[in-house]
Structure 1
Amino acid sequence: MKLIVAITGASGINLSLKFLEKLPSNIETYVVFSSSAILALKLENNLLYKDIKNQNFTLLKESDIGACIASGSFKTDAMIILPCSMNTLAKCAVGIADNLITRAFSVMLKEKRNIILAPREMPFSPIALENMHKLSVLGITIAPPTLGYYSNQQNLEDMENFLIGKWFDLLKIDNNLYKRWE
């Protein structure tokens, strides 16, 4: 499987990092941070973008509009934008492809490939809801980080694993990150 993980400037960068950490190593992964995500990384996690290194994924620059994932002939299976800022959501909804994230999104959409958006905002404005509806009608899965309260062991790690497990399910990545109904 080839997966694109786009990380935008909405709050919740830590969830993106944990998502990447839990991805199976056999998944070929391409990661793009938006400039706002790089700022959030510093503010929320006290991490610098230059320190993000991992042998399990290829890190691409948001400004590299000619990167492999910007072409439909580069066969990727799925894309997740996690977290998805309202700015990126709006650009996706109206077809603006002005950086690598939105260009890759446009390519995935035209190629009819699996796309998941995890908008991180509360409450959602009427404009954001309208954009999500428009994208949903186009076949995009809208999957915000909405917690499930299914067990008595509900610490932060359990809740994060639940969210990541649900996103993995949508991407068809086998996992046992959360307790399932029997």
Structure 2
Amino acid sequence: MRLVVAVTGASGVELGLKLVSKLPERVTGYLILSENARRVLEHESHRVYNDDDIAAPVASGSFPSDAMIVVPCSMNTLAKIACGIADNLVTRTAAVMLKENRPLLLAPREMPLGTIALENMLKLSRLGVTIAPPVPGYYSGHATVEEMEDFMIGKWFDLLGIEHTLYKRWRIEEL
């Protein structure tokens, strides 16, 4: 599987990069760091593209990517995607995912959510985009922040069809 991972904004950059580090070997990650994310830190593995590299392979419909996740997804990036603004590599690649009907998952990091953001999310949801904020599952019994992050990443992997063992699954006992 080829997965495009875009990291935008500054808050939550570590969670996006942790997701990349947890990708199984059978998944090839293509990492896009926005300028603000790049300022926070650099990542040494996977292919990393500058957000201003609009000619990068992942920006083309002929590039065989299977899915894209934007984590964290700033409200600015979410709004641009909702309005069809493709002025950088993240938003251009997202536009390609939409036009090619490929899975696109956005993990917005804002709270509280304003009316405009909610309307943008609704619009994107109606277009088939999965909106999955980084929400901890308290029922999973995690004891550390790392386990909570693994749970959220595992939920995103579930939505993208990536097998993992990042959290203990709910088990229905046989009667």
- Normalising by the residue count of structure 2, what TM-score does the alignment of the two structures yield? 0.94
Match of 1:119 in 2: 108
Counterparts of 1:151 and 1:166, CA distance in 2: 11
Alignment partner of 1:177 is 2:169: no
Q: In the alignment, which of 60, 71, 75 is matched to residue 60 of structure 2?
A: 71
Task: Indicate yes or no: 2:4 matched with 1:14.
Answer: no
Aligned to 1:87: 76
Q: What is the DSSP-based 3-state SS (H/G/I as helix, E as strand, rest coil) of the residue aligned with 1:31?
A: strand
CA deviation string 1:48-69 (max 9, x = no partner): x3xx211xx1111111101101
Q: What amino acid sits opposite 2:114 in the alignment?
A: S
Unaligned runs of 5+ in 2: none
- Matched residues in 1 for 2:122 and 2:65: separation? 25
Q: Does 1:100 align with 2:97?
A: no
Q: Measure how far apart 1:151 and its partner are.
A: 3.9
Q: Match of 1:9, SS?
A: coil
Q: CA deviation at 1:76?
A: 0.6
Q: Does 1:134 align with 2:120?
A: no
Structure-2 change in CA distance of 1:64 and 1:20 (3 Å): same
* Count of paired positions: 171
C-alpha distance in structure 2 between counterparts of 1:38 and 1:29, whole Å: 17
Structure 1 letter corresponding to 2:138: Y
- How much identity, in percent, do the aligned residues show? 58
The one-letter code of the counterpart of 1:79 is M
SS in 2 for 1:130: helix
Q: CA RMSD in A?
A: 1.1
Structure 1 residue ranges (4+ consecutive) displaced by more than 3 angstroms after TM superposition? none
How far apart are the structure 2 equivalents of 1:91 and 1:112? 18
Residue equivalent to 1:44: none
Counterparts of 2:50 and 2:140 in 1: how far apart (Å)? 40
Relative to structure 1, is the Cα distance of residues 28 and 125 closer, same or farther in structure 2, using a 3 angstrom cutoff? same
Residue 135 of structure 1 aligns with an amino acid whose one-letter code is L
Q: Shift in Å at residue 29 of structure 1?
A: 1.4
Q: Shift of the alpha carbon at 1:26?
A: 2.0
Instruction: Summarize the Cα distance change of 1:153–1:80 in structure 2 as closer, same or farther, 3 Å threshold.
Output: closer
Cα 1:149–1:111 change in 2 (3 A) is same
Q: Provide structure 1 residue ranges, at least 5 long, that are not aligned to the other structure.
A: 42-46
Scaled by the length of structure 1, what TM-score is found? 0.91
The reply on whether 1:61 has 2:73 as its aligned counterpart is no
Q: Mark the CA change 1:94 to 1:180 in structure 2 (over 3 Å): closer, same or farther.
A: same
Q: 1:176 to 1:97 in 2, by over 3 A?
A: same
Measure the CA separation in 1 of the matches of 2:169 and 2:140.
10
Can you list the C-alpha shifts for 1:98-145, whole angstroms capped at 9, x where unaligned? 001100000010000000000001111111111000000000000000
